[in-house]
A and B are shown apart, each in its own frame.
Chain A
Amino acid sequence: MSILLCFLSFLVLGGRYAEATESLTVSAAMSLKNAFEDIGRVFEAKHRGVKVYFNFAGSGTLSRQIESGAPVDVFASASVRYMDNLERKGLIIKASRRNFAGNSIVLIVPSTSRLQVSSILGLLNAGVRRIAIGNPGTVPAGEYAKEVLKHFELWGKLRDKLIFAGNVRQVLDYVARGEVDAGMVYASDAGTRPDDVKIAAEVPAESHSAVVYPAAVVKGTGSKALAGEFIDMVTSENGQKILKNDGFKPLGKERP
């Protein structure tokens, strides 16, 4: 009985303790996972008493959550489309919007693969039976992949081989585990599992629309100033360095 009391009081007090510090909730595209977690640590070190909570998922999913009123302070998407959508609906603070990074698309295969795939056209190879890409309906990486395939006039031919994943890291995982023969992810993602996947080909930038990552403060946030400071850090030299190290193409402080 006394143990129960101790436990309960710990919960209550623990909760109190969390409330005493300020918190920031950041919804960010799955591909930003490693980079943003690093940036988050730097941010917390700089702002004592602040805790940053991350919510990583496909950009489409995150944008729907915000539309449904999710209590998020910052939104960072892997494509401008979802940000434009939220801006149109007046759900973000326009003035805070920034593009902060770019990325390139790569074609990856399992590290144990013996298939000869050295370009996108190599996907027509009979040995390639399953290709993973993000679901073009909800995942920017999937949209870009679809553009690439359409550019090379492969979309129709490869339709039956395509496996849609819920986010870009799942594409990476499917390839890493050998569930599929090839996949398309961002260059930054490929770098997170160097032992399990190898890059079969770089995708030419002109085969898809530019990959641009915008970030903005969500309207209705309770921490407007802090949210803005987070975005500032992302676009700062420090933040940009972290992004570059993780394989992103830096953009700087440009306004859209």
Chain B
Amino acid sequence: MSAINDATLFSLRLSLQVATVATVLVMLVGISVAYILARKDFRGRVLLDILITLPLVLPPTVTGYYLVILFGRNGFIGRFFYDLTGWSIMFTWYAAVLASFVVALPLMIKTARAAIESVDKNLINASYSLGHSELETVFKVILPLSRKGIIAGVVLSFARALGEFGATLMIAGNIPGRTDTMPLAIYTLANSGEWSTANFMVLFLTLISGFFLYITNRVGMRAV
């Protein structure tokens, strides 16, 4: 029996799809929030910081628990969606994206924020004094100079999204052919004694994780 069968290919494709979509969302939201936390002062800033960082510290199953309470068919938010559209996110690959997004977001925000805060304030002031708007300054000065931190954040987020298990299991379920990402599929295979079928996925995940570490090392070591 080949270790690379259709189910494995499905899980592989699904994992990459979920992780990519989640990472793109994490980048968009994460960089924006990181900028706001780094540059703006407002009431409730500390509370926002804590709320966003929680999934980083909470066990994934606790995060999953909250996601189900919020987005399940009868959840606080889920029930509005269901009443409006008859659609629920549970048991879909979107739920897997949601779970990955929530757990990876704090990683992105923390690294991006540190990178943004390390940009010399004088450079930002110089940009304003030379007539450039805040948005222009973000794209022409701040982001280019925070590039390394942001890349590190993206790589970390992708790795985290790819390996998400606990929260995903609870809100997306482990439906074969639908939501069984690689970590979940490996779990199921091990549970039913089909260890060798899981070999390919285990190898893939190991190699790609090693690759991510390599990238973050390269990005980190190159001095400005």
Q: Which residues of chain B come closer than 8 Å to A178, judged between CB atoms?
A: 72-74
**Interface set, chain B 181-202, CB cutoff 8 A to A:** 188, 191-193
Tell me which of A61, A163, A165 contacts B191 (CB under 8 A). A61
**Interface set, chain A 140-195, CB cutoff 8 A to B:** 163-166, 177-179
The CA of A179 and the CA of B95, in the complex, are separated in Å by: 13
Pairwise interchain contact A64-B192, C-beta atoms closer than 8 A: yes
- Other A-B pairs, 8, CB within 8 Å; known A61-B191, A137-B176, A179-B90: A60-B191, A64-B191, A135-B188, A163-B175, A164-B174, A164-B175, A177-B74, A178-B74
Q: Which residue of B lies closest to A162 (CB)?
A: B175
Q: Which residues of chain B come closer than 8 Å to A135, judged between CB atoms?
A: 176, 188
A-B contacts, CB under 8 A, total: 38
The CA of A177 and the CA of B75, in the complex, are separated in Å by: 9
Closest 9 CB pairs of A and B: A178-B74, A179-B73, A178-B73, A179-B90, A163-B91, A64-B193, A138-B192, A164-B175, A61-B191
Pairwise interchain contact B191-A164, C-beta atoms closer than 8 A: no
**Interface set, chain B 97-116, CB cutoff 8 A to A:** none
Residue among A67, A138, A165, A178 having the largest count of chain B Cβ atoms under 10 Å: A178
* A: number of interface residues (CB 8 Å): 16
Q: Which residues of chain B come closer than 8 Å to A177, judged between CB atoms?
A: 72-74
Is residue A98 contacting chain B, with contact meaning CB distance below 8 A? Answer: no
Q: Which residue of A lies closest to B193 (CB)?
A: A64
Is residue A130 contacting chain B, with contact meaning CB distance below 8 A? Answer: yes
The CA of A246 and the CA of B32, in the complex, are separated in Å by: 55
The CA of A126 and the CA of B174, in the complex, are separated in Å by: 24
Interface size class of B (residues with CB under 8 A): 10 to 19
Interface residues of B (CB under 8 A from A): 72-74, 86, 88, 90-91, 173-176, 188, 191-193
The CA of A166 and the CA of B184, in the complex, are separated in Å by: 12
Main secondary structure of the interface of A (DSSP, over half): loop
Pairwise interchain contact A163-B173, C-beta atoms closer than 8 A: yes
Interface residues of A (CB under 8 A from B): 60-61, 64, 67, 129-130, 135, 137-138, 163-166, 177-179
Q: Which residues of chain B come closer than 8 Å to A130, judged between CB atoms?
A: 91
Q: Which residues of chain A come closer than 8 Å to B175, judged between CB atoms?
A: 163-164
Q: Are A166 and B91 also in contact (CB < 8 A) when A137-B192, A177-B72 are?
A: no
The CA of A60 and the CA of B174, in the complex, are separated in Å by: 16
Pairwise interchain contact B176-A164, C-beta atoms closer than 8 A: yes
Q: Which residue of B lies closest to A61 (CB)?
A: B191
Pairwise interchain contact A179-B91, C-beta atoms closer than 8 A: yes
Pairwise interchain contact B174-A67, C-beta atoms closer than 8 A: no
The CA of A135 and the CA of B169, in the complex, are separated in Å by: 14
The CA of A138 and the CA of B193, in the complex, are separated in Å by: 10
Q: Which residues of chain A come closer than 8 Å to B191, judged between CB atoms?
A: 60-61, 64, 138
The CA of A165 and the CA of B90, in the complex, are separated in Å by: 13
Q: Which residues of chain B come closer than 8 Å to A164, judged between CB atoms?
A: 173-176
Q: Which residues of chain A come closer than 8 Å to B174, judged between CB atoms?
A: 164, 166
Tell me which of B72, B86, B176, B188 contacts A179 (CB under 8 A). B72
Q: Which residue of A lies closest to B194 (CB)?
A: A137
The CA of A129 and the CA of B192, in the complex, are separated in Å by: 28
